Amino acid sequence: MFTLLFIAFLIVDIVFRFWLDSRQLRHVQAHRNQVPDEFSDRIGLRSHQRAAGYTSAKIQFSIIERIVEAAVLVSLTLLGGLQFIDLQLGVLIDNEMLRQLALIASVLAILGVIGLPFSAWRKFKLEARYGFNRVTPRLFILDACKTLAITLVLGAPLAAGVLWVMANAGANWVWWAWGIWVAFNFLILWLFPTVIAPLFNKFTPLDNPEMADRIHALAQRCGFSLGGLFVMDGSKRSAHGNAYFTGFGKARRIVFFDTLLARLNTDEIEAVLAHELGHFKHRHIIKRMLISFSLALVFFLLLGWLSTQVWFYTDLGVLPQLGRPNDALALILFFLVMPVFTFWATPLASWMSRRDEFQADRYAAEQCSSTSLISALVKLYDDNAATLTPDPVHSAFYDSHPPAVLRIQQLKHG
Ligand SMILES: [Zn+2]
């Protein structure tokens, strides 16, 4: 029964996504010869057509990637891939903890190896064709090795901890596992700015006194205590620009990509930061964290129940091993299969995110000037070859940020 439900959801997901994507492709292509009025004085037709090409290429690529992902999912579950690996490891490894960790590692390795050519194609073909890629093959391999090392160093203790409480904490393991998960997230938040990010990029203090003064004044005006201003060599990997906040308490810092500083003037940078401060002022970050932790608890409770149901394994193509723990199996099945069902929550998450973006824009307009934010946004849309004419249905379903036209209309007219 669950097999049928799983297949039905998988097929409906694929068909529905394909329908959304074809809408987007048609919409973008239909508008490729006309820059929307709001932008016609600032964005040329060639830029607009380049954005249409880039958007379409990304969608076509993601359609292929998704078909392969679905094939891998079915191969691992219903076609017996997971069952095969589990049996082999059961013969090879006696220690239950090691056997289960090896099972998780094997599945992650398979997914990683299959994902690698896609990631390479995206960078060296797709991004390169539109002039965004700066990654050399050597850096690509180096990044992959570092990511693997971090996944092992951080992921292995996390997986071992969760498996341990599943085996030893009785019926309460769900709460312990959730506690581990929450603690792990805080650990990452703490490690990211000071340990993880510097493994990939160089961070140097912002060397522009005038801009630093403006930013400190803005932070003070907004009641935001600032630990430091850093510039990151984002240009090492990509021409896309960005800025973000990271860390908490006294260690809170603002990080600019060098690509962003190269393109925006001081007024525009200030407006972009005011937008980010808007997220902070409206407590969007805390709200998102609370939502994510609550959802994690719901998922763990659900997993706690599913892991005791024999049909959860057998209907997904795996026979649980008799007399041995099947906790890793339950975890893997859950994480593989869950997205097929949670996909339908995407529009709700996107809608909440867009509402937050409008709020942050409004805050930036109050603190700085809406004109500066508009000109920054126009430059960013143009530089990133983001489409100005998305299909409304596709956008409502997926987009975390409101379409450019709506954002700018709101900034102009309040
Ligand atoms: Zn934002």
Annotated active-site residue in 21, 38, 86, 276: 276
Distance CA 286, CA 284 (A): 6
* pLDDT in the model for residue 243: 85
* pLDDT in the model for residue 396: 97
For residue 110, report the distance from its CA to the centre of ligand 1, in Å.
35
* pLDDT in the model for residue 224: 87
Residue 276 annotated to the active site: yes
Instruction: For the chain, give the longest Cα–Cα distance.
Output: 71
Annotated active-site residue in 21, 268, 270, 361: 361
The 8-class DSSP code of residue 401 comes to: S
Residue 69 annotated to the active site: no
* pLDDT in the model for residue 253: 86
CB-CB contact of 69 with 38 (8 Å): no
Residue with tokens 């630093």: 212
Residue with tokens 């609550």: 294
Is the four-CA dihedral 5, 11, 12, 17 of positive or negative sign? positive
Distance CA 258, CA 92 (A): 50
Residues tagged in the binding site annotation for Zn(2+) = 275, 279, 357
Q: Which of 214, 250, 265, 254 is nearest to 232 (CA)?
A: 254
- Phi–psi pair at 246, nearest 5 degrees: -150, 160
For residue 138, report the distance from its CA to the centre of ligand 1, in Å.
33
For residue 286, report the distance from its CA to the centre of ligand 1, in Å.
14
- Phi–psi pair at 321, nearest 5 degrees: -75, 135
* pLDDT in the model for residue 247: 74
Give the bridge partners for 246, in sequence order.
253
Kind of pairing between the strands at 203-205 and 228-232: antiparallel
Distance CA 338, CA 174 (A): 17
Kind of pairing between the strands at 243-246 and 253-257: antiparallel
For residue 27, report the distance from its CA to the centre of ligand 1, in Å.
25
* Alpha-carbon distance values, 333 to 85, 141, 175, 301 (Å): 13, 29, 20, 15
For residue 405, report the distance from its CA to the centre of ligand 1, in Å.
16
Residues shown for the chain: 414
Distance CA 301, CA 110 (A): 28
Residues tagged in the binding site annotation = 275, 279, 357
* pLDDT in the model for residue 322: 87
Domain residue ranges in the chain: 1-133+264-282+308-414
For residue 357, report the distance from its CA to the centre of ligand 1, in Å.
5
414 residues of the chain, pLDDT tens digit each: 899 999 999 999 999 999 999 999 999 999 999 999 889 889 999 999 999 999 999 999 999 999 999 999 999 999 999 999 999 999 999 999 999 999 999 999 999 999 999 999 999 999 999 999 999 999 999 999 999 999 999 999 999 999 999 999 998 999 999 999 999 999 999 999 889 999 999 999 999 999 999 999 999 998 888 888 999 999 999 998 888 888 776 678 889 999 999 999 999 999 999 999 999 899 998 999 999 999 999 999 999 999 999 999 999 999 998 889 999 999 999 999 999 999 999 999 999 999 999 999 999 999 998 999 999 999 999 999 999 999 999 999 999 999 999 999 999 987
Give the bridge partners for 255, in sequence order.
230, 244
